[in-house]
């Protein structure tokens, strides 16, 4: 794949400046690794300078983050940096960025601990500009070891300081051998990280594991504790519908295994899901987010580097781990499932086959079994456990069955006859849906509105505001933001589901999948409509759903969206015939429920405090 012109320009402008400094320092024979993976995210380190320490002869490594920034300004409120090209959002402090990269590498490759130094190479900035962002003028996070990170600018004096610094921590002796050592290094979390993961997850158990969940955990733990050889790999496939506790099981496994000092990691195909887990599970344990990874981060692991790899939301598996920004030589034809199975002694796949929502998602028990067979794993070493117990809709476990029949998974839609606490409602307009859900938010419940991908998405702000792309008659709301606007309290797409300010934007399946709220509103668009005695599907704005599988994928999307509400779900369709179907199926009208809310809580007509931050992960 061709490298984008801006990236090529960046390489030409930045790499040369570091090479010049290396030559000035007499370090022309150190080894330089470009675009080094952090091994814990899709982020890459611009340059890694590898050699030996001049005093000890031991491995010494300098991570370099290149920035072409010139004028710099420090924002004391956010500790972020404004610079030309930053746009409306300031950038992370470059020293903090390179420090985070060093910490990520240390957590994943224990042999690097104590060997790493960081440099922010601001080769277009003068010394006085850098002084504005460094202490005492600009503050750094208290966790940063200022003795191990530096920032240098373009001035001759700055370049000489850069060269002197490198001379104090690097020598060329054995540089090539040191690179080979890094290549052969065992990639796994450190002991401290595993202990922190155990402490963080152990304290978040919401309900005890039951029946088949406990069976899964016990069986995996037994096999790990037996210390089987690499040739006796075991594969687990855990399937269950919405709300059956797959993620709770995954986190229980993660905590228990790390408590046993048995290396385990969590992996997902969803950026929003992984971001939420990192933020909400780690809590005060800020050194464990690297345990929450993405599927495509495990393609470079040596076989069986991990004891257990927990692949959550495995219905989102792709054919391979290639990324659109990968260079041609970085691309691979190895199936992603093969990479994940090979990465751990016990790979565990948790999935719901009916949550596949894109043509390039292939996660299914059949695909996993076929991959295991192709890798020579015996049939009796592949274990399939089915989760049946319903937690999310515990008020109304029959709701998912009714929904599936209504959406066309079963033979025919059937009337809604439930009389309990769970509230399934139909709205005649999106405004009715908004009024009801806004009332629930005022009562300190979590809620979101989601929709099928039937409207264009303006990803950029216009005049500092989100464009109200989702327009239905005189009602208009924006989609969830691609990038955050902190001044207007608008979260980005990865935090839309968990940030209370996300209520004022419409989410899609990619930002809603894997989460749940107290109440969920679903706008069914023109892509799935009732045609008298059957459902028909139509191409929408999402190219990933087009083709022979369109009907199945779009149906799966609305099944995902309509199973996000724990205590209630509101359905609205832009199609009259589909709204009539909901009425014929005796789904209660929302007007009655909203009237009852106002009678029960007359203060709803007055401004109320904002709702608290709540966990909306599927515990």
The Cα 148–Cα 106 span in angstroms is 13
Residue that has been written with the tokens 């020293």 in this structure: 95
**DSSP string over 41-70:** SS-EEEEEEEEE-TTT-SEEEEEEEEE---
C-beta separation of 317 from 305 below 8 A: no
Which stretches in the chain have pLDDT values below 70? 1-11, 39-43, 86-88, 108, 184-211, 225-231, 258-261, 279-290, 324-330, 390-395, 605-619
Structure tokens at 352: 């719901």
- Minimal CA–CA distance to 216: which of 250, 244, 242? 250
C-beta separation of 100 from 143 below 8 A: no
pLDDT of residue 202: 53
pLDDT digits (tens, 9 = 90+) for 531-565: 999 999 999 999 999 999 999 999 999 999 999 99
Number of Cβ within a 10 Å radius of residue 471: 12
C-beta separation of 349 from 305 below 8 A: no
pTM of structure: 0.69
Burial of 220: CB neighbours in 10 Å, binned 0-12, 13-18, 19+: buried
The Cα 188–Cα 298 span in angstroms is 11
The Cα 293–Cα 40 span in angstroms is 6
Number of Cβ within a 10 Å radius of residue 138: 20
- Minimal CA–CA distance to 563: which of 444, 433, 396? 396
Q: What angle do CA 517, 523, 527 make, to 5 degrees?
A: 130
pLDDT of residue 260: 66
Structure tokens at 478: 């924006």
- Minimal CA–CA distance to 541: which of 428, 459, 431? 459
pLDDT of residue 591: 93
The Cα 320–Cα 337 span in angstroms is 8
First to last CA, the chain: 40
C-beta separation of 451 from 470 below 8 A: yes
Structure tokens at 284: 């005060």
The full 3-state SS of 468-508, as one line of letters, equals: CCEEECCEEECECCCCCEHHHCECCCCCCCCCHHHHHCEEC
- Minimal CA–CA distance to 151: which of 182, 185, 128, 174? 128
The Cα 90–Cα 81 span in angstroms is 5
The Cα 597–Cα 584 span in angstroms is 24
For 292, phi and psi rounded to 5 degrees? -100, 100
List, in order, residues 6 or more apart from 470 with CB less than 8 Å away.
451, 455, 476, 477, 478, 479, 506, 523
The Cα 261–Cα 229 span in angstroms is 17
Assign domain 191-387 to its CATH architecture: 3-Layer(aba) Sandwich (3.40)
pLDDT of residue 185: 63
Distance of CA 295 to the CA centre of its chain: 10
Which spans in 203-354 are helix H?
211-225, 246-259, 271-282, 336-343
The number of C-alpha atoms within 13 Å of 209 and in the hemisphere containing its C-beta is 19
pLDDT digits (tens, 9 = 90+) for 148-207: 999 999 999 999 999 999 999 999 999 999 888 877 665 555 445 445 555 555 544 444
**CA distances in angstroms from 86 to 90, 92, 112, 459, listed in the order given:** 6, 10, 33, 17
The Cα 365–Cα 384 span in angstroms is 8
Task: Please list, residue by residue across 155-194, b when 16 or more beta carbons sit within 10 angstroms of its beta carbon and e when fewer do.
Answer: eeebbebbbebbeebbbbebbeebbeebeebebbbbeebb
- Minimal CA–CA distance to 407: which of 246, 520, 573? 573
């Amino acid at each position: 794949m061709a490298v984008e012109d801006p990236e090529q320009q960046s390489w030409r402008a930045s790499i040369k400046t570091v090479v010049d400094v290396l030559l000035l320092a007499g370090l022309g024979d150190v080894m330089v690794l470009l675009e080094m993976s952090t091994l814990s995210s899709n982020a890459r380190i611009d340059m890694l300078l590898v050699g030996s320490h001049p005093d000890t002869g031991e491995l010494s490594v300098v991570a370099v983050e290149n920035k072409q920034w010139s004028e710099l300004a420090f924002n004391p409120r956010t500790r972020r940096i404004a610079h030309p090209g930053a746009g409306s959002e300031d950038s992370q402090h470059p020293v903090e960025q390179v420090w985070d990269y060093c910490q990520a590498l240390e957590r994943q490759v224990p042999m690097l601990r104590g060997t790493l130094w960081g440099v922010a190479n601001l080769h277009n900035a003068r010394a006085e500009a850098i002084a504005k962002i460094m202490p005492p003028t600009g503050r750094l996070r208290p966790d940063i070891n200022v003795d191990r990170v530096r920032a240098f600018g373009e001035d001759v004096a700055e370049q000489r300081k850069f060269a002197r610094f490198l001379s104090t921590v690097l020598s060329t002796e054995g540089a090539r051998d040191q690179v080979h050592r890094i290549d052969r290094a065992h990639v796994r979390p450190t002991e401290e990280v595993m202990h922190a993961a155990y402490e963080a997850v152990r304290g978040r158990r919401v309900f005890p594991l039951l029946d088949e969940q406990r069976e899964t955990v016990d069986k995996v733990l037994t096999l790990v504790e037996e210390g089987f050889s690499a040739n006796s790999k075991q594969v687990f496939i855990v399937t269950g519908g919405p709300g059956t506790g797959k993620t709770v099981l995954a986190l229980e496994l993660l905590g228990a295994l790390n408590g046993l000092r048995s290396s385990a990691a969590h992996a997902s195909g969803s950026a929003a899901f992984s971001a939420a887990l990192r933020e909400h599970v780690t809590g005060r344990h800020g050194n464990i987010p690297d345990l929450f990874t993405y599927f495509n981060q495990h393609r470079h692991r040596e076989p069986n580097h991990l004891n257990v790899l927990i692949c959550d939301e495995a219905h989102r598996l792709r054919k391979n781990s290639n990324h659109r920004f990968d260079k041609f030589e970085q691309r691979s034809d190895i199936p992603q499932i093969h990479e994940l199975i090979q990465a751990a002694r016990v790979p565990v796949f948790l999935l719901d086959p009916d949550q596949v929502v894109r043509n390039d998602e292939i996660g299914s028990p059949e695909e996993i079994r076929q991959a295991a067979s192709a890798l020579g794993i015996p049939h009796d070493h592949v274990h399939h456990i089915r989760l049946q117990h319903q937690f999310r809709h515990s008020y109304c476990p029959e709701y998912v069955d009714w929904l599936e029949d209504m959406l066309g998974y079963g033979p025919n839609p059937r009337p809604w006859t439930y009389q309990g606490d769970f509230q399934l409602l139909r709205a005649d307009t999106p405004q009715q849906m908004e009024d009801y859900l806004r009332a629930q938010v005022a009562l300190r419940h979590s809620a979101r509105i989601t929709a099928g991908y039937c409207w264009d998405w303006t990803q950029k702000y216009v005049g500092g505001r989100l464009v109200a792309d989702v327009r239905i008659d005189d009602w208009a709301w924006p989609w969830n933001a691609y990038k955050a606007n902190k001044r207007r309290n608008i979260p980005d797409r990865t935090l839309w589901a968990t940030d209370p300010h996300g209520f004022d934007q419409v989410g899609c399946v990619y930002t809603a999948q894997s989460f749940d709220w107290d109440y969920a509103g679903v706008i069914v668009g023109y892509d799935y409509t009732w045609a008298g005695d059957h459902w028909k599907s139509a191409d929408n704005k999402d190219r990933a759903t087009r083709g022979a599988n369109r009907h199945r994928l779009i149906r799966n999307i609305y099944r995902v969206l309509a199973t996000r509400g724990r205590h209630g779900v509101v359905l609205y369709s832009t199609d009259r015939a589909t709204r009539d179907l909901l009425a014929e199926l005796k789904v209660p009208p929302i007007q009655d429920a909203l009237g009852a809310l106002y009678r029960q809580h007359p203060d709803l007509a007055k401004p109320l405090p904002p709702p608290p931050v709540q966990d909306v992960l599927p515990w």
